[in-house]
Amino acid sequence: MTKRTLIGPFKQIIPMTGLALKGAISDRELEVIAEGGILFENNLILATGNFDDLKSEHPDANIQLLKGNHVCLPGFVDAHTHICFGGSRAKDYAMRNAGKSYLEIANAGGGIWDTVTETRKASIEELTKNTIKRANRHLKNGTTTLEVKSGYGLTVDEELKMLRAIKEANEKALPELISTCLAAHMLPKDFEGTEKEYLKMICEELFPILKEENLTHRIDAFIEESAFSTDDIQAYFSIAHDMNFDITVHADQFSTSGSKVAVNHNAISADHLEASTDTEIALLANSDTIAVALPGASIGLGCDFTPARKLLDAGAALAIASDHNPGSAPMGDLLTQASILGTFEKLTNAEVLAGITFRAAAALKLEDRGKLEAGLLADLAVFHSDNYQDILYNQGNLKPCMIWKNGELVFDRHK
């Protein structure tokens, strides 16, 4: 017989309940449970509330008593990463900061193609091992669920190698990994044909295997002048939709048009959006597509942030993700990046926390996490503090002291 577990007392629990999926959120709307407890059984939360009340109501529960002041949040959800890769792009970073252009870096052997080359050299065992290592680092920073893209293989066999590595890593990593196929990352240099011919080949040869092996239910594409045009991608997304894949889009990073494609194809999310204008903002706000800001890319490239404030004020749903990748976003610290975005875009604590919890979960179509309420997964990020405001105030320097994933204590900084 499974024993019910009660954790607490927490100085504060921030359950992220009762908040809208779309639009601005004031800090006054945040529910704060003082001297709280969380009751769960197996991997699901049964109740949150006053610790003493829950203790009285469930006298047979296994008590995990906390000493000192602690604040509890839902485990973070990182809805956009590229942590399955080979090699390093440290040279690119140094060249970029020294003033070299994207073209100059590419001509010197850098850029995405460098990572493609190194990822192709890596074995599936190496990719699996490194993906697990990076994922577990994310967990120690509070992330209990993270999306992981392919896109550095760019052949059928190499994309399969990446997605199989991600699937194997998910079985062994501490956080849960949600895979996405980004075979439409760029036209591979060694493909003898046009963009449309490459995409047609991926649809015909890769998509059926993704279904057969259950490697992913998500298809992504980079819509940009240096990658795939809106015209190129129409048939690709139509086929993906017909095959019941969910669609997400790298949109509006350097030029606009990607967000319009995302909305037209009922994409779950449109990610990046640094170049979005009022036109794209209004389009996203009037759709069900989640806008995903990637402040790590802005920090890594030294470019503008996603217009998060305008998106929220227009009524959009805003998630925040790390974009952890070897080229433009090598930091991979979601909490630090979200804190910085909040400073520059004047976001409330509630908006930032929503962006890395339940709104980020919505960007992955996950309705079972992102809040601390009955029936949802017992994914908890716990911090040494007596005030939840300390978490963003410290801009990522205050790390979680304990992490529960699916009701299990998977990280304890005290041990």
Rama region for 18: left / alpha / beta (φ>0; ψ in -120 to 50; rest): left
How many other CB atoms are there within 10 angstroms of residue 121's CB atom?
10
What does the angle CA 42 – CA 44 – CA 50 come to, to the nearest 5 degrees? 110
Residue bearing tokens 């449109």? 270
Domain residue limits, the chain: 5-74+371-412, 77-363
How many other CB atoms are there within 10 angstroms of residue 220's CB atom?
27
What does the angle CA 86 – CA 92 – CA 97 come to, to the nearest 5 degrees? 145
CB 319 within 8 A of CB 360: yes
Q: 19: helix, coil or strand?
A: coil
The candidate with the shortest Cα–Cα distance to 234, out of 262, 215, 255, 212, is: 262
How many CA atoms, within 13 angstroms, populate the side-chain half-sphere of residue 366?
A: 27
pLDDT tens digits for range 37-84: 999 999 999 999 999 999 999 999 999 999 999 999 999 999 999 999
CB 297 within 8 A of CB 272: yes
Q: Which two tokens stand for residue 346?
A: 């004047």
For domain 77-363, the question of CATH label 3.20.20.140 is answered with yes
pLDDT tens digits for range 132-168: 999 999 999 999 999 999 999 999 999 999 999 999 9
How many other CB atoms are there within 10 angstroms of residue 32's CB atom?
14
Q: Which residues contact 99 (CB under 8 A, 6 or more apart)?
A: none
pLDDT of residue 196: 97
The candidate with the shortest Cα–Cα distance to 160, out of 123, 209, 194, is: 209
Q: Is the peptide bond before 9 cis (omega within 30 degrees of 0)?
A: yes
Q: Which two tokens stand for residue 362?
A: 């919505």
Amino acid 230 reads T
Quick check: do 5-74+371-412 and 77-363 share a fold? no
pLDDT tens digits for range 270-287: 999 999 999 999 999 999
pLDDT tens digits for range 216-228: 999 999 999 889 9
In the CATH hierarchy, which fold is given to the domain comprising 5-74+371-412?
A: Urease, subunit C; domain 1 (2.30.40)
- pTM of the full structure: 0.97
pLDDT tens digits for range 366-388: 999 999 999 999 999 999 999 99
Q: Which residues contact 128 (CB under 8 A, 6 or more apart)?
A: 165, 168, 169, 172
pLDDT tens digits for range 241-264: 999 999 999 999 999 999 999 999
Q: Give the phi and the psi of residue 130 in degrees, each rounded to 5.
A: -70, -35
Q: Going by DSSP bridges, is the β-strand pair 246-251/269-272 parallel, antiparallel, or unpaired?
A: parallel
What does the angle CA 49 – CA 6 – CA 377 come to, to the nearest 5 degrees? 80
